[in-house]
Amino acid sequence: MKVMTVIGARPQFIKACMLSKLFHNDSKIKEILVHTGQHYDSNMSDIFFKQLQIPKPNYHLGVGSDSHGKQTGKMLIEIENIILTEKPDIVLVYGDTNSTLAGSLAASKLNIPIAHVESGLRSFNKKMPEELNRLLTDHLSTWLFCPTEEAIKNLKCEGIEKGVYLTGDIMYDATLHYRDIALNHSDILSQLKLSPGDYYLATIHRAENTDNLNKLQALLMALGELDKSVVLPLHPRTKNKIEFWNLKKFLSPSNIKVIEPLDYFDMLALESTAEIILTDSGGVQKEAYMLEVPCITLRDETEWTETVQAGWNTLVNSLDYNTILKSVSDVRVPSTHPSLFGDGETAKKIYNILLTYKS
């Protein structure tokens, strides 16, 4: 069986690594790995392949940054050509990026069945590009691998019940596998002169925050007013927007430690020992929960509603400077930590389901 995997962004590298290991060790499966190049910075791409021991991509499209339409269109053209050349039995996609949508559209047009890992998530905000990507991909997919019960409920509400599987979250597999490795190998805390539990970690990259001057300014102002050091790995999109909006002065407070995007081990180490994580990233929200670190999500809604209901995640309007500050001071570590994301065996479950397919 030939499986064509389409990935292009940091969270997808993490999700794909566990399943790719299983494919690589099975002589009955040949994986064709397509890297779209959606994340093109070496700190957000190349180093992840090395650390996670993901095989070198068979195809690297080098699409890079662009508008949603242009980026998706470029990917669609290239992926279609690869499908025609490789003739895969299955196209496998992860999450909700433009790479995911392009892979799904190309496969569906050529009548290749699609397997969607991390299916059924909904923020119910169609202004988010990610929401459109995941909606369309789910409605095109043959196999829908859901991380939570809530995801299955969302699909059922849309009339999707066939091919739906509750597998748990594949990022939990990776977090369990790599957490101790990261803590043992990373020296990021000593580099930044930080002590465990005595700093906050912040990530900002979504267009809804970076492309809005007032929101981005409010976020940066709030970070500068917090009572502890704030580590801010600066995403290329955010860096460009800070320069575009002339907001560099808001990075000058002494408590803000601006650093380059981190490799997986350094990021996992910082997440593991932060007191609080502030983020607009879906993946970082999940990792915070898996590592039992309170999270403040800098958005009006989240696709990971279970983490909010469990009390480990707080939604905060990123335009409200004072509410951001108050949400940090109000954080309390919950007394319980429900098992939301499975048992760490998600990759094996997906692998075993795909093995039963006969084209």
* Residues classed as catalytic: 205
- Strands, E assignment, the chain: 2-7, 30-35, 59-60, 90-94, 114-117, 143-146, 164-166, 199-203, 229-233, 256-259, 276-279, 295-297, 313-315
CA distance 138 to 133: 9
- What CA–CA distance (Å, rounded) separates 4 from 114? 10
Where do the H-state alpha helices sit in 261-318?
A: 264-273, 282-290, 305-309
Residue 211 corresponds to which tokens in the numbers above?
A: 């492309």
The residue among 75, 53, 85, 52 whose CA lies nearest residue 6 is 75
Burial class (CB in 10 A: 0-12, 13-18, 19+), 93: buried
